[in-house]
C-alpha cells in the first residue's frame, strides 16, 4: 500500500522525527466456471503435524449469507471469535490515507479520499457482507486528526464510528486499528517516553469512545510497527525494537482495560515487529499479560511469494503466473506461526494478505485459493488487503502503484469476481 506520512507540527515530536529515518512508501497500497466443486472443509490441525496444503480445481462458489449477531463481550473468547471468521476484507487506503498536505483545516472527506476517489458508502459495506466477507478491518490513521495534546478531532472520530456502525449493522465483525502512525510510536530507546505517552493518549480516547460496543468489535493496537528506512525494517527489526514493541503491546492492553465498560472483556489484537512472519519477529514476540483469559489475538501480515504477490518494478524476477511449487514461501512461515502460537492456544489472524494485479485474474484466483485454504487448515483466517486500486500495476511519475483492489467502490461491483469466489470457496 502507498504510504505518505503527514508532517506533524507538534513540538515535542520534532525530536522523534529527527531521530528516526525519513519515511518512505510502504508495501501495499472473465468467464466464471460453473458450480461443480463441493464445499471445501479442511481437516482439523494437529499440534505436531499441521496438514499439508490441499489442492482443488477452481469452481463458482456462493457462500451462505449468515449475519453475525451481537456478541456478549463478557463471554466471547478470542478462540471463539477467530473460529467464527470465514473471510475478511480491508478498507484500505481510505481512513488510513496520510498525505503531507493535511492540516488542521483538512475536512473529513479530504482525509478519507486522498488516496481513493470515492467516499465509503453504506452500500459498499452492504455489498462486502453480501459477497460473503464476515469480517472487515478498518485501518485508521489518527495522527492526521489530532492537536498538539493528542486530542482526536470529534468529526474524525464520528466518521470512524459511522463506518464501524454500518459494518456491525450488516452483520460483520470489525477490526479497528491505528495505521501509518509509526512516527508517533517510535521503537527506539531514546524515544520510548514519547511513544508510551502517545499510545496511551490515542488508545484511551478510542477505547473510551467505543467502550459500550459488543464483542464483535476488536481493537488492533498497532499496524506494522517498525523503524522506517532501516536495514532490518522488513526482516524482523533489532533486539531493541522488538523489546520496545513488547512494551507498547502491553501498554495497549493495559490502556484499553483501564477504560472499563465492555473493554474490560474486549478481544484485542497485537502484532509482531512489522506484523512480520519472519522467524525472529515471531520468536521474540511476547504475548502481553492480561486480566482475563483468552482475549488476545496475534496479528500477522504476509504477501508471499514476494515476486508474485507484492514486488513492483520491471525486474525479471517478477512472477506473473502462480506456481504452486513456490507455496513454501507462505507455508513455511505459517507453519512456524502455527507451532509458536496456534498450537499453544494463542489465536492468529492474518490481517493483511493479497496479490497485486499483473493482468491475470485466473492465476491470482488460484493463488488466493491455495493461500487461504492452507492458512485456514492451520486455523488462521485471512483478511484481503483491498486498497481500492484495480488497474494493472504500472509505473507512474511518483513510482509504481500497488493494485490490490477487488471492489470497485464507485460502481459497487466486484472488479475480480473470480478471485472473490476463490476466497470464499477456500474459506468455506
Coil vs helix vs strand at 7: coil
Q: Ramachandran region of residue 20, left (φ > 0), alpha (ψ -120 to 50) or beta?
A: beta
Residue 189: Cβ-neighbour burial (10 angstroms; 0-12, 13-18, 19+): exposed
Which cell numbers in the block locate residue 72? Answer: 456478549
Give the residue among 31, 82, 34 at the shortest CA–CA distance from 376: 82
Asked if 297 and 218 touch (Cβ cutoff 8 Å), the reply is: yes
Which cell numbers in the block locate residue 180? Answer: 501509518
**Number of helices and strands in the chain (H, E):** 12, 12
Beta bridge partners of 220: 177, 269
If you write DSSP's letter for every residue of 374-418 in order, what string do you get?
HHHHTT--EEEEE-S--SPP-EETTEE------EETTTTEES-HH
Give the residue among 378, 303, 373, 370 at the shortest CA–CA distance from 340: 378
Cis peptide bond upstream of 305, omega within 30: yes
**What span, in angstroms and rounded, lies between the C-alpha atoms of 39 and 63?**
9
**What span, in angstroms and rounded, lies between the C-alpha atoms of 85 and 384?**
13
Give the residue among 315, 402, 331 at the shortest CA–CA distance from 115: 402
Active site residues: 224, 352
Which cell numbers in the block locate residue 73? Answer: 463481550
Which stretches does DSSP call E strand in 101-212? 135-138, 173-177
The b-or-e profile of 225-246 (16+ CB within 10 A means b, else e) is: bbbbebebbbebbbeebbebbb
Amino acid at each position: 500500500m502507498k504510504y505518505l506520512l503527514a508532517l506533524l507540527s507538534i513540538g515535542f515530536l520534532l525530536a522523534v522525527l529527527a531521530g528516526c529515518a525519513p519515511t518512505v512508501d510502504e508495501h501495499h497500497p472473465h468467464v466464471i466456471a460453473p458450480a461443480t466443486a463441493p464445499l471445501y472443509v479442511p481437516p482439523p490441525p494437529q499440534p505436531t503435524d499441521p496438514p499439508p496444503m490441499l489442492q482443488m480445481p477452481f469452481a463458482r462458489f456462493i457462500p451462505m449469507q449468515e449475519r453475525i449477531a451481537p456478541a456478549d463481550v463478557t463471554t466471547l473468547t478470542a478462540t471463539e471469535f477467530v473460529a467464527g471468521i470465514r473471510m475478511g476484507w480491508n478498507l484500505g487506503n481510505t481512513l488510513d490515507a496520510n498525505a503531507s498536505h493535511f492540516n488542521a483545516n483538512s475536512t473529513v472527506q479530504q482525509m478519507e479520499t486522498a488516496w481513493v476517489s470515492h467516499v465509503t458508502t453504506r452500500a459498499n459495506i452492504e455489498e462486502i457482507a453480501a459477497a460473503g466477507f464476515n469480517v472487515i478491518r478498518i485501518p485508521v490513521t489518527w495522527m492526521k486528526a489530532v492537536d498538539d495534546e493528542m486530542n482526536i478531532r470529534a468529526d474524525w472520530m464520528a466518521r470512524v464510528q459511522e463506518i464501524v456502525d454500518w459494518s456491525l449493522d450488516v452483520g460483520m465483525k470489525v477490526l479497528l486499528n491505528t495505521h501509518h502512525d509509526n512516527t508517533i510510536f517510535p521503537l527506539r530507546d531514546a524515544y520510548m517516553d514519547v511513544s508510551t505517552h502517545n499510545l496511551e493518549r490515542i488508545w484511551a480516547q478510542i477505547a473510551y469512545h467505543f467502550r459500550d460496543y459488543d464483542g464483535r468489535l476488536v481493537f488492533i493496537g498497532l499496524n506494522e510497527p517498525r523503524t522506517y528506512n532501516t536495514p532490518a525494517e522488513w526482516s524482523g527489526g533489532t533486539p531493541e525494537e522488538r523489546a520496545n514493541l513488547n512494551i507498547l503491546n502491553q501498554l495497549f492492553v493495559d490502556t484499553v482495560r483501564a477504560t472499563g465498560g465492555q473493554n474490560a472483556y474486549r478481544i484485542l489484537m497485537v502484532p509482531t515487529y512489522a506484523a512480520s512472519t519472519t522467524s525472529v519477529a515471531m520468536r521474540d514476540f511476547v504475548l502481553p499479560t492480561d486480566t482475563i483469559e483468552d482475549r488476545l489475538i496475534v496479528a500477522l501480515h504476509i504477501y508471499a511469494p514476494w515476486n508474485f504477490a507484492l514486488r513492483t518494478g520491471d525486474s525479471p524476477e517478477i512472477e506473473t503466473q502462480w506456481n504452486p511449487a513456490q507455496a513454501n514461501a507462505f507455508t513455511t512461515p505459517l507453519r512456524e506461526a502455527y507451532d509458536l502460537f496456534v498450537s499453544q492456544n494463542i489465536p492468529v489472524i492474518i490481517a493483511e494478505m493479497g496479490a497485486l494485479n499483473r493482468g491475470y485474474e485466473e492465476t491470482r484466483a488460484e493463488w488466493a485459493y491455495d493461500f487461504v485454504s492452507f492458512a485456514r487448515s492451520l486455523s488462521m483466517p485471512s483478511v484481503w488487503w483491498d486498497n481500492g486500486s484495480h488497474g494493472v500495476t504500472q509505473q507512474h511519475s511518483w513510482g509504481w502503484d500497488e493494485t490490490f483492489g477487488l471492489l470497485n467502490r464507485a460502481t459497487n461491483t466486484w472488479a475480480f469476481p473470480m478471485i472473490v469466489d476463490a476466497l470464499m470457496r477456500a474459506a468455506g
